[in-house]
Structure 1
């Protein structure tokens, strides 16, 4: 056995992601390569597993954004002019989606979206965000006016979505609160290792979790699946990440590391040039 390769390609072929890794099922025969395995440090902690789950959730959302949205689409925020009960917020959100669906259909396009509700538990300022497709022939002032009419509880703010790999990754991390929560979980792990009191960090982690976003994707989104295969013609893979012709490596998102079981692992993100 050699190694496993999992490849995901976005719907428009502009981005693809490759994971290469060894496992108990796919280990190299060469004993020198086998030594690359890092000893497992006494099992998985709750925080370690939570970081892994959070990373997987964020990467899944990143791929969903990459699959469905393109340059020129809209990232919109909808806020409240005054405080309202959560149930009222949810009801007005559902009404907004119905109104937007009708508006998009009127212009010959189905509405697809990924929305996120912030502070839905009641802690912090209740608001939301949504990524929407660009409508050809609909100027920005009309789009903004239609969104505000559809929402009805406050202001709407728009930003263009650039659709690069890093844009999708940042958007997904923001929606899942990955960066903020991972920073606190890392700080707690270091404090535990140093024998320090972690009560304050536990309280901060609990507060972040209480404000975590509720992600609401439409049902008509494209969901491209990754293809996994076992590579047997080579004993292992190269640590060097090299992009194929016509693509470049997204360095900020690509890395070599280890699985939770200590096996070598490589995550590479490639983006089309231009």
Structure 2
């Protein structure tokens, strides 16, 4: 086996990764190998984190879902990351409770960030429900402001890099991050790749575009890795984006158990009543 193709189906897009199978190598395909530097290792780890987050987001959310930046008032800023995590956890519990009242489960991805000036904010992506934007603002009002966006507004950006910013991935300047913590809800679907062998593949070959999709040129990347093997990564977007059927959200409705009524209205009360006992 030589090169393989990994395909990730992400609802409205498809991510394709073509690279050499690390278990088997073909003669003549390898370029000069070189050892990675510590900086390259850090960048590679951050890149894998961004790629995993990007696939997770596009597999579970759609362009109409919420993208919110939650800011803190000066007098409500957390002292450290531990306190910021506690505030985020409390807010998400309250938000999940409000979603539950409307018979929906909350799906979310979040990243807490701190800047050199001591300002804190939280980037949040969550599924849209009727009135959800107002709920988020009401619950966060005691801490600060909420800046509204939609996932469609970030379609031209790398959403994975946006949601996983870290001190290693940002440079000194306006958007420098000194501390960050990325997390997501456990009820998200993790996309798994479909792997197929590529026979006779060359980097110059044009990507195969299925009907109903187009190549997003901004995502097209090709090159040679540090092991000396060629690779290619790109995204295919659906020409007519689908919207999730409401039944998909309804299938996640929370089922509540009916409580038995005590006293005369309950089962025991009816039995006693039939026997003539009060």
In the superposition, the TM-score normalised over structure 2's length comes to 0.74
Tell whether the 8 Å contact from 2:113 to 2:181 is kept in structure 1 after alignment: yes
Query: Residue 200 of structure 2: which of 235, 249, 252 is its match?
Result: 235
Unaligned runs of 5+ in 2: 241-278
* 1:102 alignment partner in structure 2: 97
Q: Secondary structure at the match of 1:213?
A: strand
* 1:124 alignment partner in structure 2: 118
The verdict on how the C-alpha distance between 1:144 and 1:182 changes in structure 2, with shifts beyond 3 A counting, is closer
Structure 2 counterparts to residues 240-259 of structure 1, below 5 A = 240-259=206-225
Tell whether the 8 Å contact from 2:78 to 2:84 is kept in structure 1 after alignment: yes
Structure 2 counterparts to residues 39-118 of structure 1, below 5 A = 39-41=32-34, 43-82=35-74, 83-86=77-80, 87-118=82-113
The Cα of 1:149 is off from its aligned counterpart by 2.8
Q: 2: distance between equivalents of 1:57 and 1:230?
A: 25
Q: Secondary structure at the match of 1:243?
A: coil
* 2:187 alignment partner in structure 1: 220
Tell whether the 8 Å contact from 1:124 to 1:211 is kept in structure 2 after alignment: no
The verdict on how the C-alpha distance between 1:163 and 1:109 changes in structure 2, with shifts beyond 3 A counting, is farther
CA deviations over 1:66-114 (Å, ceiling 9, x no partner): 0111121111111111234234433322221111101111112100100
Query: Residue 148 of structure 1: which of 126, 137, 155 is its match?
Result: 137
The Cα of 1:181 is off from its aligned counterpart by 4.7
Which protein is richer in helix relative to its size?
1
The verdict on how the C-alpha distance between 1:269 and 1:134 changes in structure 2, with shifts beyond 3 A counting, is same
* 1:133 alignment partner in structure 2: 127
The Cα of 1:268 is off from its aligned counterpart by 2.1
Unaligned runs of 5+ in 1: 185-203
Worse-matched range after superposition: 48-57 or 154-163: 154-163
* 1:271 alignment partner in structure 2: 237
* 1:173 alignment partner in structure 2: 161
Q: Secondary structure at the match of 1:101?
A: helix
The Cα of 1:8 is off from its aligned counterpart by 1.1
Q: 1: distance between equivalents of 2:201 and 2:190?
A: 30
Regions of 4+ moved over 4 Å: 180-184
The Cα of 1:269 is off from its aligned counterpart by 1.3
